[in-house]
Amino acid sequence: MALTYQQSKLVKDTIPALREHGEKITTIFYKNMLRDHPELNNYFNSVNQKNGRQPRALTSVILSFASNINHISELIPKFERMCNKHCSLGIQPEHYEIVGKYLIMAFTEVLGPAMTPQVHSAWEKAYWLLAKMLIGREAQLYRDFESWSSWRKFKIDRVVPETEDIYSFYLVPQDGKKLPKFFPGQYISLRVNGPEGYLQSRQYSLSEAWKPDYYRITVKRDEGARYSNSVSQSYFHPGVVSNLLIDSMPAGTMVDVSHPAGEFFLDINNSSNVPIVLISAGVGVAPMVAIANEVVATQPNRPISWIHGSRKSVPFEEHITHLRRTNPNFHTNIFKTHLAGSDVVGVNYNYDFRMDLAKVNPDDLHLNHGGTEYFICGPEQFMLEMSDYLKSQGVLTQRVHFELFSTGDLAFKHQ
């Protein structure tokens, strides 16, 4: 049942307090909930709990929901991303009961007298309005997953270094059954035992088009946030799962894997021949390889332009070069900031500086085609800059797609 006008007004009236105290509310929420339900640590990213990103992301969701309480349809893209991630982690309806209880308790603790019985009732109703929407969509996704709705055992069949800090893992199902198809660009969740005694899951793009007997993911070592001064350099909150995979999980190791999911993908059921522009940096190359391989194999006449930025080595360099040489519709622009003695301009790189789309031949960006689809994956600041440039050139927002694994959303300057 929808909120009444008065209830919607009460929810909206809390927005100033949420802006001021939202992060405190969500921090208290996580602390109390995980204290009383430590088993839920198996679902949350321990690094994002420590660096504060998880509470900030939840604050953003609550504020967005409160601000759009009368036109929730505008939040569907955000909710779709959430639901896909929830299903990749195995979130179930009973988890919403726990979250709702501790979230309202945190509201009450922080807002104090402002959390009157009427406000309490309005927010409780608003929460369940949101929760039922998410539960309903997640039920649809789980049905699409058919018999694979939980975790499935896979063996790491082989590990291939792509650069000095990026590795590809070939994952084979232990049961030997044929793997379901997926849309290129989607991800799987991979779950391992974390160092603090809880299970830890992370999402990794599938870096190869569908194969019936294996999935491939490509993983970058995560050193964490760098801090340096004149005396020393250190790193805070390094990655847990990615570094465990690279350092401690050789071929033969068993891992838990979820069904492919994600709202960032190329729709292979659409036979459109409009150009595709892939824009990536670093390990953001992973979903782009899957997209490129799929298109080259099934739509060889479709124009593809790949623009990639790397500090030194380019992951899948030989493969990308092969695609360019054997497919006249496949074009590349490679930016490198640190050249090796063997690098040759025009052969394995095009520009010796940080990626700048303004330097790329406009024909390779297909800006004059009103249907061109743009796929962007890389660090958040990189994606913001690429998006802003495309929008400055008149590209509509709905034609620009992002892959975002970090908790939270991009803060676009232009919407």
Q: Phi and psi (nearest 5°) for 105?
A: -60, -40
Both structure tokens of 104? 């309202």
Paired residues of 305 in beta bridges: 277, 331
CA–CA gap between residue 23 and residue 328 (Å, rounded): 52
Q: Which two tokens stand for residue 328?
A: 């006249």
Neighbours of 60 (CB within 10 A): 18
3-class secondary-structure state, position 191: strand
Strands 187-193 and 254-257, sheet pairing: antiparallel
SS3 state at 118: helix
Distance CA 97, CA 251 (A): 40
Task: Give CA–CA dist 57/39, Å, rounded.
Answer: 21
Any idea which residues carry the catalytic annotation? 96, 138
Helices 317-326 + 285-298 axis angle, to 10: 30
Q: Are 409 and 384 spatial neighbours (Cβ–Cβ below 8 Å)? A: no
Which residues pair with residue 155 across a beta bridge? Answer: 172, 254
The closest of 194, 229, 262 to 401, measured between CA atoms, is 262
Tell me the three-class secondary structure of 277-321, residue by residue.
Answer: EEEEEHHHHHHHHHHHHHHHHHCCCCCEEEEEEECCCCCCHHHHH
Q: Which is nearest to 158 in space by CA: 219, 220, 216, 221? A: 216
H or E element in which residue 171 lies: strand 166-173
| Whole-number Å distance between alpha carbons of 167 and 246 | 7
Contacts of 374 (CB under 8 A, 6+ apart): 277, 279, 390, 395, 399, 400, 401
